[in-house]
Structure 1
């Protein structure tokens, strides 16, 4: 929708969202290494009721009230809004229909929790005019990653920030990738839950964060207490299996939240030092690594044929020699850009896939929602998580 060009030259039209005062070249803001105030995620609150939250690369961002409409690109941010009971406030995301179907494979196990992202604006490379039309209260997206798109520049980033609403997100913590050069001096990396704490502060949902973080911490403690010695742990590869002749693979020792559900379980990586996270390998390369376990990314999506993937490996001249294929250890996974709720489920499922004798067996997954796990073998309380999402805790 076309907009009156003069409107874009006005100061911020929302008096409840502004950036902090630390300016750098080009009008963008430096990030801060630490946050002040409650839980180190909220800088403080003014007499007028406005409050500020700091996260790199934006720096300090001030709000007068919690945002209601939420623009996102990547699903770790959308998943954070969902965890805070704001899933239906999301108005844009990358591949919304795909991720709506995938996320709902997990929400099936959360009593009373619903989610509908179908039909939203697909925002991988967002059109600036659409951001005006969406008129969001916050852009829960990393401005550095948007600036890296060929269709965007620093002036566009500032324009949307000043005339629509602020940016608040961090993408390059996924694999600790290098941000664009103009953002490098203000960039910092966060764990998934460190980032979630700051996003929760934006929505003034600190209590929801605390409740979910307690579940997450307890889950990690359960895992750590039961892990076998390193010499007894299986080798593994995390891979995109849509094309078994050219598979995307992700190294397990790479820092970042893409492997936040695998690293705590300590499987041994077997990819060669010449392979970087996100590279592609062929079947001969996979056989050279020959992992005990293959995790198939997106394997729980309704349109992914897990039995077909297993059959294709077993019938492949090279693939049938893989230890994981021979031993029936090709397992489904969910999403790389996981939010906190998927992180809880994926920690549980990965624990069961790697160590069934310690954490209970993972059912041989073919299709459908996240399997029903016997209550005495669940590693976290679904009812409690559902109550937190629904604000009934």
Structure 2
């Protein structure tokens, strides 16, 4: 098949070293794998061995070689590649400039670690033709979500799988969204780190995953051992806006899914009613009615965002100034919800300090990123250790 003719589907596949094993059902659709066990078949596999990995919704995939060029759609998958030392191999990302800036605010604290995603393909609504052109070796993207885009159907998903490279991603676990069509009822949800473990298997990086997962487990254990009683925990709301006085969106921070992997373990209280839908637009009157003890500003770590200006706007507004979080000077920045493992480590630490300064030390007042310097004895994880793991020196 000619690479210049992306509509041709009858020729032999271009990625013959990638095979679906038991993941294809009648009609050529990808099967779900709800209820299947973890499929790490070769815990100490080498590049000369076939790696078999199972994850919903794609089913079981066999990789005879380690993928080199990596397509991602959402930044939690790009963050997984980054954590495995493969950040520079990412060929596509949703909002490249935005998330490149976000990651750079955190890598500032990881010696010898950097990444540049500013010029990769913007893949929020990827075209099939562009996936042929990118010629990636794996698509870390969720076909059950991609197929919901207007320009995609299940035939397109299968065509790219056969002629370019396999799909291997899970995104509807973000907030336990319901799949549509052929995946309805066959979708399994994973935590951020459960999914990261499976992605690490694809790249034969089980040891690197284990090293990072150990750090994550230590942070969670530290947090759990130091949490105050429930009645002493703050109510927390997350907001984002280009201009808070014109329009803003509010998010809950305790709902299921990996979007809250950095806040839910801290067990904050939800200031909104049970009927509130995370991601809804909200005004200052409604935010005052909820009256959170802490406000997190999503995107507040961006280099062009001034937290000082945001706080001043809230403090000078007749309604917003009455919100408990504003009165108590507890309006803090946050980085990203589609965060990946490394940002998750940082954001667990920053959230712990923002919610519980007496237990974990206070969050330094800052005017946005980069991630501030924190004294070694107040850090929840060793920056050099994480940098070494990313760089393969562990």
Corresponding residue of 1:134: 134
2:76 partner SS: helix
For residues 196 and 87 of structure 2, the distance between their equivalents in structure 1, rounded to whole angstroms, comes to 14
Q: Does 1:42 align with 2:40?
A: yes
What's the counterpart of residue 375 of structure 1?
376
CA apart distance, 1:151:
1.1
| Partners of 1:114 and 1:6 in 2: CA distance | 37
- Equivalent residue number for residue 14 of structure 1: 15
- Which structure 2 residues correspond to residues 58-207 of structure 1 after superposition, within 5 A? 58-207=58-207
Please name the residue that 1:51 is paired with: 51
- Which residue of the partner structure matches residue 385 of structure 1? 386
Q: CA deviation at 1:305?
A: 2.0
Output the CA distance in 1 between the equivalents of 2:114 and 2:6: 39
CA distance in 1, matches of 2:170, 2:218: 26
- TM-score normalised by length of structure 1: 0.95
Please give the alpha-carbon distance, in whole angstroms, between the structure 2 residues aligned to 1:176 and 1:376: 37
CA deviation after TM superposition for structure 1 residue 28, in Å = 1.6
Distance between the aligned counterparts of 1:369 and 1:58, measured in 2? 37
Q: CA deviation digits over 1:17-45, x for unaligned, max 9? A: 12122433431222223565xxx352458
**1:191-230 maps to which residues of 2 (within 5 A)?**
191-230=191-230
1:313 maps to 314
Residue 6 (structure 1) shift: 7.2
Q: TM-score, normalised by structure 2?
A: 0.95
CA contact (8 A) 2:291 2:325 kept: yes
String of CA shifts for 1:82-109, please: whole Å, max 9, x gaps: 0000000001000101110110000000
Give the paired residue count.
390
**Residues of 2 paired with 1:362 and 1:126: CA distance?**
38
Determine if the alignment matches structure 1 residue 283 to structure 2 residue 284.
Answer: yes
Following superposition, the deviation at residue 281 of structure 1 comes to 1.1
Q: What is the CA RMSD across the aligned residues, in angstroms?
A: 1.8
> What per-residue deviation string (whole Å, max 9, x for no partner) do you get for residues 315-364 of structure 1?
11211111111111000001010100000000000000011111011101
1:19-30 pair list within 5 angstroms: 19-30=20-31
Q: Any idea what SS the aligned residue of 2:343 has? A: helix
Contact 1:247 1:281 in 2 (8 A): yes
Give ranges in structure 2 of 5+ residues lacking alignment. Answer: none
Whole-angstrom CA distance in 2 between matches of 1:96 and 1:6:
27
| Structure-2 residue corresponding to 1:264 | 265
Residue of structure 1 in register with 2:348 after alignment: 347
User: 1:356 corresponds to which residue?
Assistant: 357
1:236 alignment partner in structure 2:
236
Residue 182 of structure 1 and its aligned partner are, at CA, apart by 2.1
1:51–1:63 contact (8 Å) kept in structure 2: yes
Question: Is the 8 Å Cα contact of residues 50 and 64 (structure 1) preserved in structure 2?
Answer: yes
Q: Separation in 2 of the partners of 1:231 and 1:82? A: 38
Indicate conservation of the 8 Å contact 2:366/2:372, yes or no: yes
Determine if contact 1:237/1:293 at 8 Å carries over to the other structure.
yes
Counterpart of 2:295 in 1: which secondary structure?
strand
Q: Distance in 1 between matches of 2:229 and 2:123?
A: 44
Following TM superposition, the consecutive aligned residue runs of length 4 or more in structure 1 with deviations greater than 6 angstroms are 45-48
SS of the counterpart of 1:273?
Answer: coil
Give the match's secondary structure for 1:237: strand
Conservation of the 8 A alpha-carbon contact between 2:92 and 2:123: yes
Residue 339 of structure 2 is matched in structure 1 by 338
